[in-house]
Amino acid sequence: MSQHVIPVSEIGRARPATAMANLALPATGVLLDRLQRPLTDLRISVTDRCNFRCSYCMPKEVFDKDYQYLPHSALLSFEEITRLARLFAAHGVHKVRLTGGEPLLRKNLEVLIEQLAALRTPDGQPLDLTLTTNGSLLARKARALKAAGLRRVTISLDGLDDVTFRSMNDVDFPVAEVLAGIDAAKAAGLGPIKVNMVVKRGTNEQEILPMARHFRGTGVALRFIEYMDVGATNGWRMDEVLPSAEVVRRIAEEFPLVPLEATAPGETAQRWAYQDGGGEIGVISSVTQAFCHDCNRARLSTEGKLYLCLFANAGHDLRPLLRGGASDEQITSAIGHIWQSRSDRYSELRALRGPDTDGAAPRRVEMSYIGG
């Protein structure tokens, strides 16, 4: 085994959830944490594997040929994922996002999408079912995903220049194939489409304006994400963060912008419209402008660990309940108690104390393990 390998057991530490299962807490459709934040958004990782090796997420020197991924038997089955999603919906979740790793690597994912698309919220509405992908397989899968019931997609794309893009994905994957995937998603009706660009100072900041020019007027909503200190493998440094305010300034110099109101509570992006009606951009500023105060998202790892924050160092293990014969009522109670005990606000605290750069902080879960 490579000396760089971080065992899954280390990045996926979890607290048992079984003790909370027998403390009855029925679902009411509204579940609040200690800071009165509701649970409305569930992000489900369906695989810990990815075919890219982006330096900010799965750097090649760590996730190399010797890296030990989870065995298939450890992954939640589609039926187990659907059961949990149904119970989360009873607590008030109305948006489900499938993530990875790269979710389109999960075999027969359309079957899971069909199952999730059949679920309903307490008021009888279908879930807002979406998926985040690197776009590498989207051209061949877009129509099948739409037919299965997927509503929309978000595509990660960190630049249009092919040399820059190949360097960032670190597997020499051409940008043209991702653009073809975006076109296929539009043709299939998977919209509105969002494109996410992680901006890393000194690496791809020169791609900000070309990206804005390319997607302006296309109906695609472009999002710029600050390079974040997620996990422990990406070598994050504060001096590589380009503040979102600078991104907005650069774009506004060429295309005047006007601020937009949030479309829903807990929205992560600050949105701006082109003054001439050419569409919109958004910025996600978890480093320079924390939005913990209204975070309404939980994350489920591919083998059933529930995380309450993208920057968490441990989760709550739901798989023993799923595979140990627990009733729906018991699992519902466990989910309820876990969320009610939540007080996470990592980004706000980071802003007060400064980032952890000395290695003294507990190892945080990797973004590739629970999705972004």
The number of domains in the chain is: 1
Please report whether residue 2 resides in a domain: no
Domain coverage including residue 43: 8-370
Q: Is the pLDDT of residue 6 over 60?
A: no
Task: Indicate the range of 11-20, 43-52, 100-109, 342-351 predicted with least confidence.
Answer: 11-20
pLDDT computed for residue 10 by the predictor: 44
Q: Hunting for tokens 């489920």 — which residue is that? A: 300
Please report whether residue 282 resides in a domain: yes
Please report whether residue 166 resides in a domain: yes
Average pLDDT of every residue of the chain: 89
Q: Is the pLDDT of residue 361 over 70?
A: no
Looking at residues 348-368, what average pLDDT do you find? Answer: 61
List Cβ<8 Å contacts ≥24 apart for 179-182. Answer: 180/139, 181/133, 181/135, 181/136, 181/137, 181/138, 181/139, 181/142, 181/155, 182/135, 182/138, 182/155, 182/157, 182/220
Question: How far apart are alpha carbons 242 and 205 in whole angstroms?
Answer: 8
Give 368 or 183, the one with higher predicted confidence: 183
Q: Is the pLDDT of residue 371 over 90?
A: no
Please report whether residue 1 resides in a domain: no
The structure's pTM equals: 0.90
Residue 35: CATH number of its domain: 3.20.20.70
pLDDT, one tens digit per residue, over 262-277 is 887 767 889 999 999 9
What CA–CA distances, in Å, run from 174 to 106, 196, 211? 22, 17, 16
